[in-house]
Structure 1
Amino acid sequence: MSDLGRVLRLDARRTALLIAVPVLTLLGTAAAGLSLSTSVAYWDNTVVALVNAVRFLGPAAAGLAAWTAVRERPLDYLRGLTARSPATGVLFDLLLLSSAVLVSYAAVTVLVVGVTVVQGQAGHPHPLGVVAGAGALVLHVVAGYLTGRVVPHRTTAALVLAVTSLWAALRVPGVSWWSLLPPAAFPRIELFTTLRPAVFTDQVLWAAGLTTALILGYVLWVTRRLLIVLPLTAAIAAAVSATLGLHGSGAGTVAPVPAEQVCRRWPLTVCVHPALRAALPPLMAAATPLAARLNGTPGAFTKVEQRPAWAAVAVVNGVAAVHLDEDLSPGYAARAVRQISDGLKDPDACTNPNGYQALVDAWLLGDDPPSPPGTRAARRFAAWTEHRRRAWLRLHFAEYRSCTLGPDDFRPPAKAQARPAGSAVGSAARRVQ
């Protein structure tokens, strides 16, 4: 018992474990920060940030495990003093190293989740995604350590680090099913979509099956116990099944999901995805002047609603549909309002808008007026009051929608009196006076 206690104390007092936790925590936090947006708190992207961080944490953990295996190999003679199986020390090493790596991963998870919660999160968490990342880390530890045991050379740790880094670098997000094999690489998840849980299930099964197969294979090699062949075969079968499942997933890693939008209701009703609630005040401020200028026209709207990226932007039945930048990059509100302006026009007729169209667009959007052909029309339009411009737009909205505005549309109202007095166009022109 004294010899056994000595071995356990030597196993537990390893400097590698003391070094691993802070180093891997810092590395994992930095890696997760590269994928995590600080402006949008969407649970799907939080999980993606954690899973993507494993691509950096995994090779580091594998290299550390291989270095530990090579460094501690001279202590094997102490383990030989006990009656334990020759595989017991290896399993205990794997338990300690895996625990250290998982502690680091848990610390990174707490930090990333904390950032998401503080920002006012949206969507639903995916605990299975966190488990998939943890399983991939343990797989790296097992593969690295067993490689160090089988090939106890000074360069083994560097070789393991290089190979696992190359394996991780082969992942290109959203390109092939190959990128779904742990350590997986996911693209940024768009709003109004969510990750498919089946993908995480297959990843957990793949990592668990391969990890178990590696451990059982090493134990079989050391102990020569043929009874281990049966569970080894089952573990390999599980890994193969998970591989087929990930292959079948392909690019279908996400699915559309409805979202109960958050709204502000005065002076317009503006609704956005709950992850972008910070966009409500700027979007309201940018859309209100355009709504006022379009009041009384067929393009009038009283509601602005964010739509998924695959939905069309248009103004229908008083509702203006827009897309928003998911990272809320500077100018996102102005770009959304421009989408409303573009949605007012006939896309078939407005393939090549003229300068008169740009003149009206600049007024609607509050931009500086351009210099269109026919500067006299521009001077006239610039001299009109806001009230007169709105009345003019109600009269010429059909021409604006079809991008057929010309210099005649900007003539003084007195010119329009030559039209039949009883016509609606003539009466509207007199009202502009």
Structure 2
Amino acid sequence: MSELGRVLRVEARRTALLIAVPLLTAVGVVTAWLSLVPGVAYWDNTVVALVNSVRVLGPLAAGLTAWAAVRERRLDYLRDLTSRAPATGALVDMALLSAAALLAYGTVTAVVAVDTLLREQAGAAQPMGILAGATALVMHVVIGYLAGRLVPRPATAVVVLAGTWLWAAARGTSTSWWSLLPPAALNEVELFTGLRPWVLAAEVSWSAGLTVTLVLAYVWWVNRRPWTIVPLLAAVSLTALATLGLESSDGRAVSPVPTAPSCREWPLTICVHPALRGALPALMTATTPLAARLNGTPGAFTRIEQRPGTAPAGVSKGVAGVHLDDLSPGYEAQVVRQIRDGLVDRRACAGQRRRAAAEYRAMIDAWLLGTEQPDVSDPWAARAFGGWTEQQRRAWLRANFAAYHRCALTARAFR
């Protein structure tokens, strides 16, 4: 009978693993891949993608392990025939299912890490962030399994899946420390910022503490051994301390990080975040014509600097500050438009009510950007500007830049 019980248990576990490992791996890879920033290989964002994938993997793993626990519960009468402690079989099952979940998570980590390594990566990998995702996943496995053991009903797996998914989804829109409770809802890490390691360590402690608390509580409930009280209290204390640590973070998982830029120095000097250094050739090609047309004007620039999102953009003293979040299609045109927008006085242009002034500015903007000339209501100005050579247009801009800057161009400027 003991041999029969062992065979049945092996078969039940094998079925769960055959389903869990490939399913968790596929879902995890897709979820993490969609969380990566287009064209940016920044290690902190890679870690965020892994942590966020657990928000989907965790509920799914909890539902699968609850289903496995319900199936295993039917074999308890066979375990009673052995001399092992009552909790031993459940502990072995949880360890096996946790290993399966971690195998899937490790595969997801390898896929995302290789993708990052194959591109122009920047920053450094955060092992604590990867560990935070792993401990949160194991926590879900334990929660699902224990729920299936305590309530051995087929509907338990559905309830566990729905409950853990609601736990993850309810905190997704929050900006308080509540959103950092595992599985954490981390936002995209902007360039020039980085993850705070102590916040990740607090998440690891919270997940590990709660997992150990649940396991020891189950062992005490089954075996009624007094020795489990001390480690149980220690695990509860660890979870409480981790909660206090996350609460003190005010919901901020990132902080500014000093970053040495990557630059290219001919014919302009362009400096960007190291994660975007692959964009330097394209940016040089896109911005050089604009720099040549502005040469000799107060808006001339010879250097372009990528700045954090909180820093102002614009052209000042020969330096053009721009914002660039990722390398999604059209990023070169976006940078050129930002420089163009920094040439005018926003307040003066916003207060300009004359339609003709807006049309003249649009005509000059189209030339600066190298796009098609728009239709204007002044045919004389359109014919005159369209018939000038490139050198004549540049000389005209040097003479009329002040009016262009204030959005105060008139028909007289073109006669």
Hey, what's the Cα distance between the residues in 2 that align with 1:6 and 1:204? 40
Aligned to 1:281: 281
Q: CA deviation at 1:207?
A: 0.5
- Report whether the alignment pairs 1:171 with 2:175: no
Hey, what's the Cα distance between the residues in 2 that align with 1:325 and 1:221? 52
Hey, what's the Cα distance between the residues in 1 that align with 2:328 and 2:154? 49
1:299-341 C-alpha deviation (Å, 9 max, x unpaired): 1111122111111111122111111241x22222112111111
Moved more, 189-198 or 317-326: 317-326
Aligned to 2:252: 252
2:196–2:255 Cα contact (<8 Å) kept: yes
Residue identity opposite 2:347 in structure 1: D
Q: How does 1:8-47 map to 2 (within 5 A)?
A: 11-13=9-11, 14=13, 15-47=15-47
Hey, what's the Cα distance between the residues in 1 that align with 2:328 and 2:132? 31
Q: CA deviation at 1:99?
A: 0.7
Aligned to 1:420: none
Aligned to 1:195: 195
Q: How does 1:5-154 map to 2 (within 5 A)?
A: 11-13=9-11, 14=13, 15-154=15-154
Hey, what's the Cα distance between the residues in 2 that align with 1:374 and 1:160? 69
1:268–1:284 Cα contact (<8 Å) kept: yes
1:210–1:236 Cα contact (<8 Å) kept: yes
Query: Percent identity of the aligned residues?
Result: 59
> Which residue of 373, 379, 385 maps to 1:375?
379
Aligned to 2:314: 314
Secondary structure at the counterpart of residue 228 of structure 1: helix
TM-score, normalised to structure 1's length? 0.89
1:12–1:96 Cα contact (<8 Å) kept: no
Moved more, 239-248 or 53-62: 239-248
Aligned to 1:430: none
Q: CA deviation at 1:380?
A: 1.3
Hey, what's the Cα distance between the residues in 2 that align with 1:193 and 1:373? 48
Hey, what's the Cα distance between the residues in 2 that align with 1:97 and 1:146? 12
Q: CA deviation at 1:93?
A: 1.0
2:98–2:138 Cα contact (<8 Å) kept: yes
1:301–1:319 Cα contact (<8 Å) kept: yes
Hey, what's the Cα distance between the residues in 2 that align with 1:251 and 1:375? 58
Q: CA deviation at 1:369?
A: 2.0
Hey, what's the Cα distance between the residues in 1 that align with 2:358 and 2:245? 54
Return 5+ residue gaps in structure 2 as ranges. none
1:357-394 C-alpha deviation (Å, 9 max, x unpaired): 22222211112222334321222111111111111111
Secondary structure at the counterpart of residue 385 of structure 2: helix
Q: 1:25 to 1:286 in 2, by over 3 A?
A: same
Query: What do you get for the CA RMSD once the two structures are aligned?
Result: 1.9
Whose radius of gyration is greater, 1 or 2? 1
Secondary structure at the counterpart of residue 347 of structure 2: coil
1:130-170 C-alpha deviation (Å, 9 max, x unpaired): 10111011111111111111111122112211211211221
Aligned to 1:347: 346
1:337–1:365 Cα contact (<8 Å) kept: yes
Moved more, 379-388 or 31-40: 31-40
Q: CA deviation at 1:354?
A: 2.3
Hey, what's the Cα distance between the residues in 2 that align with 1:372 and 1:392? 19
2:206–2:238 Cα contact (<8 Å) kept: yes
1:12-63 C-alpha deviation (Å, 9 max, x unpaired): 5522123221121111111112212352211111111111111111111111
Residue identity opposite 2:87 in structure 1: A
Q: CA deviation at 1:91?
A: 1.0
Moved more, 42-51 or 13-22: 13-22
2:47–2:126 Cα contact (<8 Å) kept: yes
Q: Which has the higher contact order (CA 8 A, sep 6+)?
A: 2
Hey, what's the Cα distance between the residues in 2 that align with 1:282 and 1:314? 20
Residue identity opposite 1:336 in structure 2: V
Secondary structure at the counterpart of residue 122 of structure 1: coil
Aligned to 1:329: 328
Hey, what's the Cα distance between the residues in 2 that align with 1:8 and 1:130? 35
2:203–2:246 Cα contact (<8 Å) kept: yes
Secondary structure at the counterpart of residue 354 of structure 1: helix
Hey, what's the Cα distance between the residues in 2 that align with 1:160 and 1:187? 26
The runs of at least 4 aligned residues of structure 1 exceeding 3 Å deviation read 5-13
Aligned to 1:407: 411
Return 5+ residue gaps in structure 1 as ranges. 412-433
Q: CA deviation at 1:120?
A: 2.3
Hey, what's the Cα distance between the residues in 1 that align with 2:411 and 2:20? 74
Aligned to 2:222: 222
Hey, what's the Cα distance between the residues in 2 that align with 1:251 and 1:234? 26
Hey, what's the Cα distance between the residues in 1 that align with 2:48 and 2:129? 8
Hey, what's the Cα distance between the residues in 1 that align with 2:47 and 2:4? 42
Q: CA deviation at 1:7?
A: 6.1
